Structure 1
Amino acid sequence: MASEKTYKFTFIILIIVLIGCFLMNISLGSVSISLEGIFAAFTGGDIEKETWRITVLDIRLPKAITAILVGFGLSLSGLLMQTLFRNPLSGPFVLGLSSGASLGVALLIMGASVFGGFMGTLLLSSYSLVIAASLGSFLVLLTVMIVSSRVKDTMSILIIGLMFGSITAAIVSVLTYFSDAEELKQFMMWTLGSLGSLTWEELGILASLIVSGTLLSVLSIKSLNAFLLGENYARSLGIDIKKARYTIIIATSLLAGSCTAFVGPIAFIGLAIPHITRLFFNTTNHKILVPSVCLIGGILMLICDSIAQVPFSDITLPINAITSMIGAPVVIWLLVRKRKMIF
């Protein structure tokens, strides 16, 4: 009972920190906006500068919400993959989802010059990158699932996913080699990631996909806890291994695939956050881990985005650079203390 009260108290603290980071993220930027100005923009009250209201509601608010959703999705998908494969170095993209999305975007950008007139305009519409990335991720996922249906070993699925990721990455490399400078720059800008380019309509679609993946994850909590002790133990508890495996893979594809499609590939969040959470809570119970990785992932993404904005400056750094600077040392630290990992 005492531990449950401790967890509840910790969750309350994390929620308060998340709200604080959310307000900080909206406040900081090339122009610093006070908390009074933020609340005035939210409530429609009098504000010092009318441009602040536009900045808060149309630029910074959707970007902050995007950061939270991406933090939720990538962290939770990383937890699912690490538990399913019982591999502490598995991330949300081990199934090749990121490589598939990159292939879809590469085909769109570097093949767009082939099309002209109406078709070229259609391919370069506002949703074109999202659709291309989604199709690429889905096709890789579909291929992995078809092949994995013929194997019984979970580790074989991991290897298959990595191999398909290598194949798609090789195709992308060939496309980049033959592309011109403008196409290559556009593709590289997508790979750097961006949280600030989503409209409210796109944000609604992303939120619905993240919620769907989260619900599937919650429904899989019993299976996830059982997988910690191996598939034979899970089978002894009456769990349908194949069904549970597919549910977890689909949940991961919804979470990680949608994040990659809308904001580009974001590195290290899905790999590092589950480990940080396990050490923070000192538990392997997914009833605790599932909500906690979401909260900590959202907090870290908001912090990374706040740093990327370079407060009081017009400079904006790539979000992928910041997450890598924070995530890479965490992964190195985890490797150094690998024997102490909670698994």
Structure 2
Amino acid sequence: MRHDPTAISPKNRQHWAMSLLLLALLGAFLLSLFVGSVRIPLDEILRILLGGAAERETWTTIVLKFRLPKAVTAVLAGSALSVSGLQMQTMFRNPLAGPFVLGINSGASLGVALVVLAVGTGSTLLAGLGLLSDFGIVVAASLGAGLVLFLVLAVARRVETMTLLILGLMFGYATSALVSVLLYFSIAERIQAYIAWTFGSFGGVTWRQMQVMAPAVLLGLIIAWLSAKPLNALLLGETYAQSLGLSVRRARFTVLVSASLMAGAITAFCGPIGFVGVAVPHLCRSLFSTSNHRLLIPATILLGGIVALLADLLAQLPGSQTTLPLNAVTALIGAPVVTWVILRQRNLRSSFAG
């Protein structure tokens, strides 16, 4: 069989795909700074980013205080949720597993519900302490997510992987039930505030809050990258991984810390963002035709950021003053991908091996 010298090798094809994702991320990032209710020329945006003085002072304020932190938040959120989803799908060998499979988002929702849905004198006290502010909601969500994370990690070393999955689902159901009870007994204004949080948003994170969220996400991504080799070993099952000398319990604990740290941080600051963590890993596997996590993790970081930026742009409905709920847009993007995964069930096994 003759070799075609013009054929592109799989390795070169992957390099090209990674380069295109990087350019697409840069383009989506600049587009997110350009699109908005106030039209700002692209050259003025670039001048502002480079530290120059814009033609109008208000343009500088809009770009640096509103659009730039929202774009950075979208990239961090999309990357974190996508990588944590990839980790969960590999560890549980379940193509429909997502970053919130352990009940992290339910714990965060319970924390927010306990603060926002408080009634009577408790509500007055919380308002007086400033706990009904945006930062108070972040603290409440962080504590709720952290509580569930602590429970999950406490049992992680004592149970098998599938048992841990079931326990995570039970934690989620239990906290969701408590939230439902709080909703039933709350007043309309509090319910509306809670529902607004559940819609999800990248626009509520300030630069001050970014100093907490960004390090947490970056630490989670670093741990995820360091766990790429153990994740590759887990692709063929825990028994095979143990035969290679891998400590499965230690690898599982590391993956849980990484995924929970990223999912918990994003949920606390942005609300429960659905579907991104489930859909993006599958798109990356199809795009690169590989299950190697040393390639999938950076690819998922890039594509996750792109998807989150595009979802935020669609939510703004360019050309109008209306803003759609972010979770509605991510569901419209992610649901077709998940449906496609289900329809390809006969090929699911091969997508997690080889």
Q: Pick the TM interval, shorter chain.
A: over 0.9
User: Partners of 1:162 and 1:128 in 2: how far apart?
Assistant: 27
| TM-score, normalisation: structure 2 | 0.93
Q: How does 1:112-131 map to 2 (within 5 A)?
A: 113-115=120-122, 116-117=124-125, 120-131=128-139
Query: Can you list the C-alpha shifts for 1:121-147, whole angstroms capped at 9, x where unaligned?
Result: 242244211111111111112112223
AA aligned to 1:210 is V
Instruction: Determine the structure 1 residue equivalent to 2:323.
Output: 316
Q: Deviations over 1:268-320 (max 9, x none)?
A: 00000000110010000000000001100000111111111111222111111
User: Post-superposition shift, 1:112?
Assistant: 6.0
> Structure 1 unaligned runs (5+)?
none
Cα distance between partner residues in 2 of 1:149 and 1:113: 42
Residue 253 of structure 1 pairs with residue 260 of structure 2? yes
Corresponding residue for residue 223 of structure 1: 230
Q: Match for 2:209 among 169, 181, 202?
A: 202
Q: Give the C-alpha shift of residue 50 in structure 1.
A: 2.6
8 Å contact kept, 1:104–1:135: yes
* 8 Å Cα contact 1:113/1:120 also seen in 2: no
Q: Distance in 2 between matches of 1:49 and 1:113?
A: 47
SS of the equivalent of 2:52 reads: coil
Aligned pairs for 1:102-117 (under 5 A) are: 102-111=109-118, 113-115=120-122, 116-117=124-125
Corresponding position of 1:23: 30
State the alpha-carbon separation in 1 of the partners of residues 325 and 332 from structure 2.
11
1:142 corresponds in structure 2 to 150
Match of 1:10? 17
Q: Distance in 2 between matches of 1:163 and 1:214?
A: 27
SS, match of residue 90 in structure 1: coil
- Aligned to 1:190, the other structure's residue is in SS state helix
Shift of the 238–125 alpha-carbon distance from structure 1 to 2, 3 Å rule, reads same
Q: State the Cα deviation string for residues 76-120 of structure 1 (Å, max 9, x = none).
A: 000000000000010000000000000000001112643345873
Q: Are 1:37 and 2:19 matched, yes or no?
A: no
Q: Could you tell me which of 326, 339, 344 is aligned with 1:337?
A: 344
Once residues 194 and 86 of structure 1 are traced to their aligned partners in structure 2, the CA distance between those partners, rounded to angstroms, is 30
Cα distance, 1:336 vs. partner? 1.1
* CA distance in 2 between partners of 1:47 and 1:164 (Å): 51
| Match of residue 3 from structure 2 | none
Shift of 1:2: 3.6
Q: What does the per-residue CA deviation read over 1:220-255, in whole Å, with 9 as the maximum and x for residues that have no partner?
A: 111100110000111111111111111000001111
Q: Residue type matched to 2:151 in 1?
A: T
Q: Separation in 2 of the partners of 1:176 and 1:210?
A: 31
Q: Aligned residue for 2:141?
A: 133
Between the two proteins, what is the percent identity of the paired residues?
49
| Residue 76 of structure 1, aligned match among 83, 88, 97 | 83
Letter in 2 for 1:94: V
Counterpart CA distance in 2 for 1:80 and 1:130 is: 25
Q: Distance in 2 between matches of 1:272 and 1:46?
A: 41
* Matched residue type, 1:278: R
1 CA distance for matches of 2:168 and 2:125?
38
Provide the aligned length of Structure 1 versus Structure 2. Answer: 342
SS in 1 for 2:205: coil
Which of 137, 154, 167 aligns to 1:160? It is 167
2-side partners of 1:54 and 1:141: how far apart?
38
Pairing 1:253-332 to 2, within 5 Å after superposition: 253-332=260-339
Quick check: 1:30–1:310 contact (8 Å CA) kept in 2? no
Distance in 2 of aligned mates of 1:302 and 1:110:
31
Shift, 1:166, TM fit:
0.3
1:214 aligned residue: 221
Could you say which residue in structure 2 is the equivalent of 1:237?
244
